[in-house]
Amino acid sequence: MYLLIDAGNTRLKYACHDGSQWLSQHAVALDAPGLALPDGFAPARIVIANVAGPGVATHLERLLTDIHASREWLMASAMRCGLRNDYEHPASLGADRWAAAIGAWHLLRSNALVVCAGTATTIDIVQDTGNFAGGSILPGLELMLDALTHNTAGLPRSRGNYVMPPRNTHDAIASGCLLAQAGAIQLMAMQLPPSTPILVAGGNGARLLPHLGSAARLQSDLVLQGLLAIAMDRSETDDKAWRA
């Protein structure tokens, strides 16, 4: 059995898997007082992707105190689960991006554009040669909206909707920020063959999906899928990352 934990900038996502199927998946606040695990669930391995900082890591350690299982705090590496990391400095890649790329490779074994639309939006390329080729990071949708509110004198916090063409300021802001996100994704997609799948995860994924064309699909658990692949395959694991 496996416990997979994705600590992002805004939420804590975690899931339980018995080796053949998901038993549960949850998304809670980063400071959640506990983990809701199925009755009798006793994981053999725990894999954690934490990009929320040391405070959250300490909180997770407290939550996991009574669970006696091997743990890995995921760090990107040169290769994992059959996927090579072409980053100039592989270890500098965020654990969540690495897990999402591994999840995409595990699910498709083909070219893929991996979009995680959360606090930040990351847009990464996985090639059918088994390479993570790199990608882009831009402010997430809410950060874009906040930037316009806090750094201009006359623009309000948008309560608008996506409309083409926008005919009021609120709709202009909402539409412009969505177009910026979608345009960046589409430009990255042009680096891959036409009709390459676009896997979209993250809290804003559902808002972006209608603007990304027929190749895009929502894959909300993409990071968890990658963590599961890692938990189930230790063949390329640096054993120093694990502890009893």
SS (H, E, C) 161-197: CCCCCCCCHHHHHHHHHHHHHHHHHHHHHCCCCCCCC
Residue 119 annotated as part of some ligand binding site? yes
Residue 87 among known ligand-binding residues: yes
Mark whether 124 is an active-site residue: no
240 carries a ligand binding annotation: no
Which residue is catalytic, options 31, 66, 96, 124? 96
Q: Classify burial at 214, counting beta carbons within 10 Å of its beta carbon; exposed 0-12, middle 13-18, buried 19 or more.
A: exposed
Is 146 annotated as ligand-binding?
Answer: no
224 labelled as ligand-binding? no
Of 64, 15, 27, 85, the closest CA to residue 202 belongs to 27
97 marked as binding residue: yes
DSSP 54-66: HHHHHHHHHHTTT
- Residue 128 assigned to a binding site: no
Beta strands in 18-107 (DSSP E): 22-29, 45-50, 70-73, 79-80, 83-85
9 annotated as a binding-site residue: yes
Binding-site members for substrate are: 87, 94-97, 169
Catalytic residues: 96
Binding-site members are: 6-13, 87, 94-97, 119, 169
Binding-site members for ATP are: 6-13, 119
